[in-house]
Structure 1
Amino acid sequence: MKQGVVFLFLSVFYFTGSAQLSKEKIQKVDALLRSYGAIKQFNGNVLVVQKGKPVFSKSYGYADFEWSLPNDKDTKFRIGSITKQFTAMLIMQLKQQGKLHLDSTVTTYLPWYRKETGDSITIRHLLMHTSGLKNYTERPDFRYTLAFSNLDPRAFAEKYCQLDLEFKPGTKFKYCNTDYYLLGLIVEAISGKTYAQALQEMILDKVGMKHTGMDSIASLLPKRAKGYEYGFYGYENATPINMASSTYAAGAMYSTAGDLMRWQKALEGALLLNEVNKKIYFTPGLGNYALGLYVTKTKDGKTVIGHPGGINGFASFMIRFVEDSIVVILLDNTAAVRRVSLDNISLGIYSIMMGISPETPKTPVAVALTETYLQKGVEAMTARYQAIKLDMNYDVSKANTHLNNFGYDLLTKRRVKESLMVLKLAVQEFPESANTLDSYAEALLADGQYKPAMEYYERVLKLEPGNKNAIDQLEKIKILMN
């Protein structure tokens, strides 16, 4: 469900040449995916479709690392916010049937919803992320509380989605999962069915998507991939959340690459919507956002349509290069979207198909340092950083964040000496980062080094006068030293 800035990279490229996929290009696509896999940036399924036919289909890595079960073409992945395309389609089908109007308000269909906001937000606002509502998934307690909720969707929305407005509806674009959660409830209110039933009957059965549905933490689903995170200590099991309640119509679906190819064909055809409503579905508004899809143009005027998805342990990306009739579908069960956007892989594949050499992927600093730490320990890791920080083959743009977070994680695990080594490196490299200085000061304090801790808290205050934590900690140290 998590999403970032997508398609912006396309605005700086011109694509010319043939899009035929020869044996040589197939080998190059495979080599590209293997290179991303080698640096822990891809583990999953790839499907490339040209003119409605698959031209490249391959699985990489494992669906279950613990049992060494490989991904294959039938592996089911959670697709996160790609769900929004389906929710938008259900709304448009109800509109096509004359059962709703896009410019009617939320309270027209959800009379229980808070009137002072619901009376000013239309269905169109929800579809295009211009409602002005706050995003419930940005709540501090979402990750640790709401994500595990077992409430039914209406009860969840009554408790967590009746939020204040951040701006006047229709005036700005802000990606908001609250919008699509409410759309799911509107589908239920109008259809008289659960969201899952409406999805099955109105879309999945019609399209022939037999390996797609709404995920449930309780269900036994054959060939469902397990989700993993790549963190400070390598791959770990992702926390299993209750998607049916916490993400619902905004991001709770699972699917396969083959089923998403069928979905893409249905979107391009006339099976689900007539031409008038298809035009509405694909017409972008603010933020280049249409209905559950981003729609943008490259510098040479080509149209690109797609959407990313991210949910605990999973990342997905489906993108269509319209004029070249190329679709790239990527499904990953190691949360790659949190490390490098899958749009870069898609761009690399498209470049190869157009006869252009793709950019060589750079190894993220987090991966390079983690692998060194696991094999040789913290001293070797800090030495490795010095060796790679100016190496163009590595992406060190997030080095400060990684070093600080890793050092602090070691501190919370009471591995104080290791924490000090990592955080000392961090403050040497990033002396103007107040957060990093604060972390190092805390580690020094935990090690009983009171005077050095005071010095670093004082440096924090020079960068951020009034920093409450630094002030409080300095008072604490003064008491400890007396």
Structure 2
Amino acid sequence: MFKVISKFRLPLLISTCLCLFSPFVFSQNKILFVVSNQDYYGTSKIKTGNHFGEIIVPYDVFSKSGFTVDFVSPKGGAVPIGYINASDSIHKKFLYNNFLMNKLKTTMKPTEVVAENYSAIFYGGGGAAMYGVAENVIIQNLARQIFLKNGVVSAICHGTAGLAYLKDEAGTSLYKAKKITGFSDKFEDKQAEYYKTFPFSIDQAIKKNEGNFVHSDKIGEGFYVVDGRFVTGQDPSAASKMASEIITLIEKNKLVIQQESIRNLDKVFSEWDNAKAKPGVAAGLLKEGQIVYIKGFGSADINNEIPINTDTKFQIGAMAKQFTAFAILLLEEQGKLSLSDDARKYIPQLPDFGTKINIKHLLSQSSGLQDFLALKEIAGWQEKDVFTQKDALDLIFRQKELDYEPGTKFSQTSSGLILLAEVVKQVTGQTLAEFSQEFIFQPLGMTNTLFCDDNEMIIPNVAISYQVSKNGFKNNLINHSIFGTTNLYTSAADLSRWYLNFDKPKVGSKKLIEKLTSPVTLNDGKTTFNPTSGRLLYGQQYVHAKRGVPKIWTYGLEGGYASNIFIFPNQNVTSFVLGNNNRYNGSLAMNMAIEVLGNVFPQPASIDFSKLKRIKMTPQQLGVYNGFYWDNERMSGRRVFVKNDTLRYQVLGTATESLLVPITDKKFQMVVDGDDVIMVEFRKEGDYFKMIYTSGESDQYAYEYYNPKTYSTTDLNEFSGTYYCRALGASYTLAQNEKGLFTSNKNQSIINFTPIHSDLFLSSARNLGGIRFVRDKQQKITGFYINSDKVKNLLFEKI
């Protein structure tokens, strides 16, 4: 045995890393060293410690190769060091190395270690290694996780004792039939007091766990064994060679894992394997500030057989909003505007509503302005009509009154982003397209990115917008020339450059990026906007948990273009898909992300409702919630009813019904596919119940109980007639059919109206929401107001 010469009691220095292991990018260049807190051999008074040479020799090799070494011990904190040879140059070098000594003074506790951060685990030796390490189940689990994620497990000399109980989750030895070495009993002084305190023999412990323990007949000759991803050494003389072997295995594993992961990622897009001549997608995946996957699938142009590549341009629809928001925050950072500025300072055409709308209100969807896209539909514009920026502004400027005091409420509206494009123009003298090119796209090398403000512009290397029909594929033309909310064309390569800027900003500061990814608030600086999509950020994206892990996301659907982005900030993973395949591509982008995220999700991919804690309720008990419920703020209705002894939930105007599982006698969870937790709670108010709906961490949606109004055919006659909106210059003619009240014209399909209360009807068109009829003193109908979650009190007068 080696004599303990010295012991150091060297304050917790833990490096926090937000990134977790992914099977694609093989963890980090980090090694986890396991050391012991044991001061004495067992319960004796014989001092022991961790072998200094078996720590600093491999530490030196790893450090010179660019690896970071962290230390963990069963109790954390300072550990005893022994077996120091002060005449050895390497010993002397590190004995006075404050950085290393501080690490040994501040080792991590096992509960503080994230296994996914490490490429290998290394058990150091010394007499102390025989105590407290092998039996520590958390350290065992760390080793198991590192190994099962293709990491290396290594141990030297008495450190091999730490492997004594290593098993997989099924209880099978991790190293069954593999060669393992360590300090053999052959070299121990079995009569010495120190040996009598050992909890077990290393040789026998490895054999008992089905390992093949081997050793050399001599010590000091650098004997070590590599078997698979286990690297073990007999004594200190093997330390340097072991470290080199570990590095070789790590680098080899990186290549193997990357190749396997590329194949797995390719499988996400397997539908294009044997069908190249169809619309497709371009995909990008970033981790740790690096592009780890970028590829194109399918055709950009079917007729001319042009394949999609990473430079192919796609329109990204509403995903363009983040660039408008970024431009505004960049101008703020440059001192050219303030978010507290009155919008009319830059847009004098905006009506004076008697109260200030500032830039922040436009960014945070709290301006009180009606949504121009909803107004466009209500006014009768067709999807294929040519629609310009001037047309959009005209609809906004026609508004006579705000829906609410700016900064006191939120509403899902795109009007603010259109106006912000005008703000950029007034502040800089450049259009948003010109400003973005000069100050964002060009500096970032985004040569295939542009805002298109002319629907007739010929854009080179662009994927054609397709529509899938029963007869094949059709061109799906986009005829609008609006920007600020849409009409941004970009490629997978360029979008990767954009998101790399979030990690290491070249354009804009880190502070700007932090603001872009922070939640918007009302005037109080506290209240956030949390629709079912998630919490709205300044960058016009949403934070919403995926199986318990926070993600930032948004999507764009425009013509045949469909784009999705998912960002997992805690894991530093960004996954996106751009397509011309006329469908929502979220599952492709999410499946890519899941492939590299691995097992980071604390919740399952779908809720197992059979295991949900529930209570039993009779049909009679459930029946007290039967009825209709109305949200007057958003003009939406719900029906709740008992069917087959279960409670059901239905959105008015649809045939789909969802099962409600009783968690308590008043709280129910909706049965849905996936991981979304949707809760419905009933609260007694007077003689009736109020229904509260939440999806995940969304704001509460309150529905009041109501008794549906019924009208006879004769009663409905008084609602018939033509109604005109001065603000929009649009009219609707209401009449009756077999279903009741309806309206239609040459620009729109039939819209049906369902009676809710007296003079209040729910429309089958989302943007028309609900219509409330108004009467004069003689109770004659004089018009109606349209109300929805995007438009309030839009008056149509009866002609």
TM range (shorter): 0.5 to 0.7
2:575/2:590 contact within 8 Å kept: no
> 3-state DSSP class of the match of 1:115?
coil
1:229 matched residue in structure 2? 467
Structure number with bigger Rg: 2
Of the three residues 423, 429, 441, the one matched with 1:192 is: 429
The residue type paired with residue 432 of structure 2 is Y
1:169 and 2:436 are equivalent in the alignment: no
> 3-state DSSP class of the match of 1:206?
coil
1:96/1:277 contact within 8 Å kept: yes
Q: 1:309 to 1:230 in 2, by over 3 A?
A: same
Q: What are the ranges of 5 or more consecutive residues in structure 1 without an aligned counterpart?
A: 1-14, 361-396, 403-456, 470-482
Q: 1:157 to 1:121 in 2, by over 3 A?
A: same
Residue 180 of structure 1 and its aligned partner are, at CA, apart by 0.5
Of the three residues 572, 583, 592, the one matched with 1:325 is: 572
Alignment of 1:133-148 (within 5 A): 133-138=369-374, 139-140=376-377, 141=379, 143-144=381-382, 147-148=385-386
Residue 251 of structure 1 and its aligned partner are, at CA, apart by 0.7
Q: 1:277 to 1:351 in 2, by over 3 A?
A: closer
Residue 195 of structure 1 and its aligned partner are, at CA, apart by 1.7
> 3-state DSSP class of the match of 2:484?
helix
Residue 69 of structure 1 and its aligned partner are, at CA, apart by 2.2
1:207 and 2:450 are equivalent in the alignment: no
1:355 and 2:602 are equivalent in the alignment: no
1:272 and 2:507 are equivalent in the alignment: yes
Residue identity (%)? 24
2:289/2:503 contact within 8 Å kept: no
Of the three residues 493, 518, 526, the one matched with 1:258 is: 493
1:161/1:178 contact within 8 Å kept: no
- The RMSD of aligned alpha carbons is 3.7
Between the aligned partners of 2:655 and 2:397, the Cα distance in structure 1 is: 31
Q: 1:354 to 1:108 in 2, by over 3 A?
A: same
1:36/1:42 contact within 8 Å kept: no
Higher-strand-fraction structure: 2
The residue type paired with residue 574 of structure 2 is V
Q: What are the ranges of 5 or more consecutive residues in structure 2 without an aligned counterpart?
A: 1-18, 26-256, 521-528, 607-650, 657-736, 742-752, 764-799
Between the aligned partners of 2:272 and 2:366, the Cα distance in structure 1 is: 35
Q: 1:309 to 1:161 in 2, by over 3 A?
A: farther
Give the TM-score, by structure 1 length.
0.64
1:56 matched residue in structure 2? 293
The residue type paired with residue 409 of structure 2 is K
Q: 1:145 to 1:27 in 2, by over 3 A?
A: closer
1:111 and 2:331 are equivalent in the alignment: no
1:302/1:322 contact within 8 Å kept: no
Q: 1:42 to 1:171 in 2, by over 3 A?
A: farther
Moved segments of 4+, more than 6 Å = 36-42, 357-360, 465-469
Answer 1 or 2: higher relative contact order, Cα 8 Å, separation at least 6.
Answer: 1
Of the three residues 10, 24, 28, the one matched with 1:20 is: 24
Pick which of 141-150 and 104-113 moved more: 141-150
1:90 matched residue in structure 2? 327
1:477 matched residue in structure 2? none
1:295/1:303 contact within 8 Å kept: no
The residue type paired with residue 318 of structure 1 is I
The residue type paired with residue 24 of structure 2 is Q
Residue 78 of structure 1 and its aligned partner are, at CA, apart by 0.8
2:318/2:485 contact within 8 Å kept: yes
1:183 matched residue in structure 2? 420
2:551 matched residue in structure 1? 304
Between the aligned partners of 1:170 and 1:67, the Cα distance in structure 2 is: 51
The residue type paired with residue 590 of structure 2 is L
Of the three residues 355, 360, 365, the one matched with 1:124 is: 360
2:315 matched residue in structure 1? 78
Deviations 1:137-185 (A, max 9, x none): 12225652795035xx456513545435333322333332211100000
Between the aligned partners of 2:754 and 2:490, the Cα distance in structure 1 is: 47
Deviations 1:387-434 (A, max 9, x none): xxxxxxxxxx9xx899xxxxxxxxxxxxxxxxxxxxxxxxxxxxxxxx
Q: 1:459 to 1:315 in 2, by over 3 A?
A: closer
The residue type paired with residue 222 of structure 1 is P
Between the aligned partners of 1:116 and 1:308, the Cα distance in structure 2 is: 33
1:135/1:178 contact within 8 Å kept: yes
Q: 1:198 to 1:465 in 2, by over 3 A?
A: closer
Q: 1:27 to 1:230 in 2, by over 3 A?
A: same
1:82/1:251 contact within 8 Å kept: yes
1:88/1:291 contact within 8 Å kept: yes
1:75/1:256 contact within 8 Å kept: yes
Higher-helix-fraction structure: 1
The residue type paired with residue 433 of structure 2 is A
Of the three residues 262, 266, 269, the one matched with 1:30 is: 266
Residue 42 of structure 1 and its aligned partner are, at CA, apart by 7.6
Between the aligned partners of 2:762 and 2:448, the Cα distance in structure 1 is: 52
Q: 1:334 to 1:146 in 2, by over 3 A?
A: closer
Residue 268 of structure 1 and its aligned partner are, at CA, apart by 2.8
> 3-state DSSP class of the match of 1:334?
coil
Between the aligned partners of 1:136 and 1:195, the Cα distance in structure 2 is: 19
2:350/2:397 contact within 8 Å kept: no
Pick which of 173-182 and 272-281 moved more: 272-281
Q: 1:194 to 1:355 in 2, by over 3 A?
A: closer
Between the aligned partners of 1:97 and 1:214, the Cα distance in structure 2 is: 22
The residue type paired with residue 207 of structure 1 is L
> 3-state DSSP class of the match of 2:412?
coil
Of the three residues 339, 350, 371, the one matched with 1:102 is: 339
Between the aligned partners of 1:354 and 1:72, the Cα distance in structure 2 is: 25
Between the aligned partners of 2:419 and 2:299, the Cα distance in structure 1 is: 35
Between the aligned partners of 2:500 and 2:457, the Cα distance in structure 1 is: 29
Give the TM-score, by structure 2 length.
0.40
2:363/2:417 contact within 8 Å kept: yes
Of the three residues 312, 331, 343, the one matched with 2:586 is: 343
> 3-state DSSP class of the match of 2:443?
helix
Between the aligned partners of 2:397 and 2:470, the Cα distance in structure 1 is: 34
Between the aligned partners of 2:762 and 2:365, the Cα distance in structure 1 is: 36
